[in-house]
Amino acid sequence: MQIFIPQEANPKETRVAAVPAAVAKLVKLGAVVQIEAGLGQSINFPDDDYTAAGATVVTDHKAGLAAADIVMRLGKPSPEEIKGLKPGCIHISHLDPFNEAPLLQELAAAKVSAISMEMIPRTTFCQAMDALSSQANLAGYMAVILAAAHSSKIFPMMTTAAGTIAGLQAIATAKRLGAKVTAYDTRPVVEEQVKSLGAQFLKIDVGETGQTKEGYAKALTAEQIQKQRDAMKKTCAESDVVITAAQVFGRRAPILVTAEMLDAMRPGSAVVDLAVDTGGNVEGVVRDEVIVRKGVKIVGRGNLPGRVPLHASQVYAANLVALVDAFWDKKEKTFTLDPNNEIMKSCLVTHGGKIVNEKLIAKAS
């Protein structure tokens, strides 16, 4: 099978879908790998490093797409690119499927089998494929580095973090820098993880919470969110840094830090909103800007993994390779796409000319 890895369409994106080491693993499986010229320039890998790993460099973007059996990338394809894919092509990338209905219709109409990396289940077996977690891990690290840069105080101090994967990395990084950390998550199971990192866990009784079978947080009711805000207000007021990372897949991020809570914080404090790409957890946050409200800095930098593009690309490429390897027929040297496979049922969104994911079908109806 022929795999094509194009450059990213978004000029602001610093991450890429493959590093030379990942290409070498795909070639070892028996795949024919083509990369678009200049793929690794943002992470300082010249084309020669990819050819040494076994890839062929393609200068014609359209030709690479048209010939591919599998396209692997980070971001979404454009409508023009979809039209250039051959029927039966497998397209693997982030797709934001709950918010991109027209894109899914175009993929289905082109008879492309599209796999959404956001919908990989968060199970033990799929851990190596879980791109959301791998990127969130880096985002959590960068959140603390940004918080330290924008705070008027040095660590050690009190920091509060929210969220699971990103939050855990934020906790670990803040602890290494000497901070006293308090963390909160809606899922009781996270308490043990937080304490294992040496942080305090803020308990808030908001009633029944939990997570989906895929490992994502369940959305809270309006009443539960208000209880959460009331309990967090005192902790935020005592904190020098607040880091938020609460997201509900397919929905706008919930507002956790209100204007009233910001007003209660000390001047010189900093709030870093990791959910800014999906609307933000902090009232008044602006994507890709740092604003100051009554002496409190609100940091809304988007795409934090893109600030460490080398490692972000390495782990994302490893996620893609793990996915391909899991469904690779070693004898036939081909990717076996079984729509009835439990993992594929979760992440395959279009196939055979239609939208096939049950959650997306239910949302549309």
Contacts of 305 (CB under 8 A, 6+ apart): 15, 135, 136, 138, 139, 142, 312
pLDDT band at 68 (very low <50, low <70, confident <90, very high): very high
When comparing pLDDT for 158 and 250, which is higher?
250
Q: What is the pLDDT of residue 270?
A: 96
DSSP secondary structure string, 283-312? TT--TT-EEEETTEEEE----GGGGSHHHH
CATH of domain 136-307: 3.40.50.720
pLDDT above 70 (res 212) = no
Angle at 70 between CA 59 and CA 213, to 5 degrees: 135
pLDDT tens string 33-42: 999 999 999 9
Determine which of 46-50, 138-142, 155-159, 302-306 has the lowest per-residue pLDDT on average: 155-159
Q: Across-strand partners of 328? A: 335
All structural domains of the chain with their residue ranges: 2-130+309-364, 136-307
Task: Measure the CA–CA gap between 40 and 53, rounded to whole angstroms.
Answer: 13
pLDDT band at 306 (very low <50, low <70, confident <90, very high): very high
pLDDT above 90 (res 2) = yes
pLDDT above 80 (res 297) = yes
328 and 334 Cβ atoms separated by less than 8 Å: yes
Q: Report CA dihedral (117, 122, 125, 130) to the nearest 10 degrees.
A: 40
202 and 232 Cβ atoms separated by less than 8 Å: yes
Looking at CATH, the fold of the domain delimited by 2-130+309-364 is given as: Rossmann fold (3.40.50)
* Beta-sheet strand order (sheet of 70-72): 56-58, 32-36, 2-5, 70-72, 90-93, 113-116, 348-351, 354-355
% of the chain surpassing 90 pLDDT: 76
DSSP state of 166: H
Q: Give the residue numbers annotated as catalytic, written as ranges.
A: 122, 127, 130, 133, 216
Is the torsion defined by CA of 258, 263, 266, 268 positive or negative? Answer: positive
Q: What is the pLDDT of residue 27?
A: 98
Same fold, 2-130+309-364 and 136-307: yes
Q: Scan for tokens 């791998």, then name that residue.
A: 134
